[in-house]
Structure 1
């Protein structure tokens, strides 16, 4: 028996690995290089198209706990991310090209997987062997149409914006300084400091700028955790400097004081040749990005390796359509993984791939599918996907608001620690019971 996986992103690759490590045969379909989505340009699997950050690595944060749970489940994505990481303060960030090459090489060299470079335009008919659908937020139009026919539901969509990347040699290091928020001494981020006059001039140009127009049929439904800077700016004069341009904890070493606002740049690769503009997702035209972003202090002559852009994000109404095992209610041979299910973020997408892989193996072996405990970050995401109000369902990152309420009052300063302890204890029991 063979597990079929459609989609070679983070979720598909993680699902494949979980199946392979348990001795199963896998056929993985990926449409690149036959066809590319608007946001992809590499032939490699597991291409990171937005940020290069997997966010906080602190296990007392929700996403940090999720990463630790995945590591304990022998996650391919987490293992390779550790090998390819670049300095990013308390976050886990990677050299994205090295990361994708390593994932591709590991899977390509495994004897029990067949990687087929072919676009799948329709969901395969039901069969005995499990099928994992992990085509991501940019699922092709034809496959999306096939999914609509299966679910009987109209697709939902919002626009996920990508931040620009700059060449570090083009920055004015007499102005830009190294520092991570609240850390003593130089840090892993580069900071471009604004005074009030330059900040007001910058946001004024943002208001007047030209943007890539949406098609007549497109209705943007932005994810609040990844808003374009122009959308944030439209909400008020100070919203950017209380958001992605927050200067608190980043004093300029030349003055000893926090700037009025700051743009942070995060290392993209191990060689420190390129940096991405943290939180600067945008739908500005390329010409306007060059003009306006060169108003940022220290970036007057910035060379952009990649401009920001937007892309469609498609996901299903999981509370109506999925079981907690990630199986479709209408077809238990079909398992959904990744962002298409309604999770948001690299780690969350890979985590759903991990669960899909685990349950596909159990189905192959004639065992019932398993659901991680609600106390775990994995289980909290499953609860979001399957227990949310369908009328208000939106993509979400993992956060402690998705976890079960406290049975007893816990001091705020101890909540992260208690979530970590309860989550990892519950994970251990689940892993033992599931034979992981």
Structure 2
């Protein structure tokens, strides 16, 4: 008889890779993944209703005693591409390395995001087998193209909206149980995202007549573009403490020594000082206190001896709560200070609304954290630094949260979207208990 770990490994071995160019996606692997779910979780598929949406996304409904105020548990089945040569273990081999408490499961998607998806199925399958009926309907929403900001989750939301479904609580991937991120905090913290930053791509383009590289002009397009990139780097977005970040620091203040305790507790006054200090703490804390911008793609001439008629740079911008697509574009324009640098906005979405960090939905998440993951863990609100499918659900719910119930080290977090992604087996098994507790409290 298979174990939860056996089932997890089998699903990790299916390479459900998504690509921005959907013509590159192999639809058959998603069909294989669907079939594996049906086979591995038969009781779930007998009890719950299932819809296939936008070709490969899945939406399940677990009827409860009441259809009012349902719970939505989210995850996504797709994973980002891999460069196999960079991995110490095969990315889709789902190999277990080490023993006992040190045992790790190495695979693409182990954390992002099949770890949550399979843990949800494990919790549901067990509860269905025990004859449990939730007090309120529960929906399971699993997108197939989250990594490419595709249409799966949006189509699911449209489907629910047409049916008049307004969830009381939505939980998607997000923050984890971490240590050492916030200076001076000496307890593990459960970082529950109450909002997420917006994301946009701004393309900077410089055009010129072109010609042979042997006779370049004084300021070729590539040089003008390079100057614009450097000017933007030298003029980062201003720092500030957004309300969820102030709430995070206030929540954690009792667990810090003085004078940090007072500084964290009085964030409305000490905000400028703290925001400045956070920029020095590393990429994660810097991203908590400002909109960030980084050039990710460059293009120029088609040949090494040809002047570029068009030099382009893609700028990935992550908008902090309170900033907008328009304000970010204006900042870049001021920083570049060159009318010959064209700006074009692509793939833009503003920051999500902020969900409450008080009230019954928040308490359900916090209680599940403390009761299953550790009584010494402090649940705290924060602004999620990346984007997720949950942002689409803010159209139908005021209580959308982002939390992955795994205790992750810095090196484990660094492996997300990189090589050697892995999760400790014991940590993943505890996450099943979190979802079970949340469902039982529904």
TM range (shorter): 0.3 to 0.5
Which structure is higher in helix share?
Answer: 2
What TM-score does the superposition give when structure 1 sets the normalisation length? 0.32
Normalising by the residue count of structure 2, what TM-score does the alignment of the two structures yield?
0.32
Higher strand content, 1 or 2: 2
Larger radius of gyration: 2
